[in-house]
Amino acid sequence: MQAVVAVVMLASVYALLASGIVVIYKSSRVLNFGHGELAVLGGYVALSILSVSGGSLPWSVAGVVATSAASGVAVYYLLMRRMTGQPTYVAILVTIGLAILIKAILLLGWQAQARTIPLGGEKVFALPGGGWIFQIDLATLGLTVAFFGVLFAFYRTSRLGRQLLGVAENPLLAALRGVNIHGVLALAWAIAVFAAGLAGVLYGSRTLLSLQSVAVGLSGLTAALVGGLDSLPGAILGAILVALSEYLTIRFIDPIMAEAVPFIVLLVAMSLRPWGLLGTPEEIDRV
């Protein structure tokens, strides 16, 4: 049972990361290679808010939500807005530059000290055969389910959700129909960076948060690619496959090999379905 809990918690973090990558891609056809850095930045922001607020969990959550969403809007208007109409590879290179910039911020602002976010360490349920479910486990699963539920409803039932999809398909036509393209894309970045910040907080509450933790973004990117860059259900499936593969490797082979496992999973999945397990076939041409 403890193994199941570990895989579900890891998959939840990867699913949140993958969802942010999918949201940005669905709206602008851009792959964000700075997603891991944004997640770790969210974790360090949570540490700072906890320190200032005296360990208040509500204030910390509210602070991370606000700063993450605001950061997403700022990233779009300061950097990505200028990429509108440019070749996709130019925007991707900008996200790589964003990743380097955030690493510098982590070093200057927090010296990238290895820290664990002290959240939800209390035991809740005993598991058969030993082990416990902690408060942070319930919070991780609950927040992930709630986030995806709201996101699915947003795309299926809201006008803004349909506008996000329309801007990705034909931005010129969307603009002619009166859609505020920049506002819609800024919203997509706000959602994506919020998902990254939430993932960083949940990840940092279970393990040491450091500059090396940005590698978690590669696992999220792999989950998105495996599931399909245009598919939110694919992000969940890809996250489960990557998390399960990593856990089995750590448990039965060698923990050092776990870092390479996501890429092995990616190679296998891409060789079978280049567009992802639940993705749309024509999306591979865009990539």
- The DSSP output letter for 111 is T
∠ CA 102-108-100, rounded to 5°? 25
**Contact (CB, 8 A) for 167 and 28:** yes
What is the distance of C-alpha 76 from the center of its chain?
17
- Each of the 287 residues of the chain gets a pLDDT tens digit; together they read 677 888 888 999 999 999 999 999 988 888 889 899 999 998 888 888 888 776 666 677 778 888 888 999 999 999 888 877 677 788 888 999 999 999 998 888 887 678 888 776 676 676 676 677 778 888 888 999 999 999 999 888 888 888 777 777 666 676 667 777 888 889 999 999 999 999 998 888 888 888 888 888 888 999 999 888 888 999 999 999 999 988 888 888 877 777 778 788 888 887 888 888 887 775 554 44
pTM of this prediction? 0.90
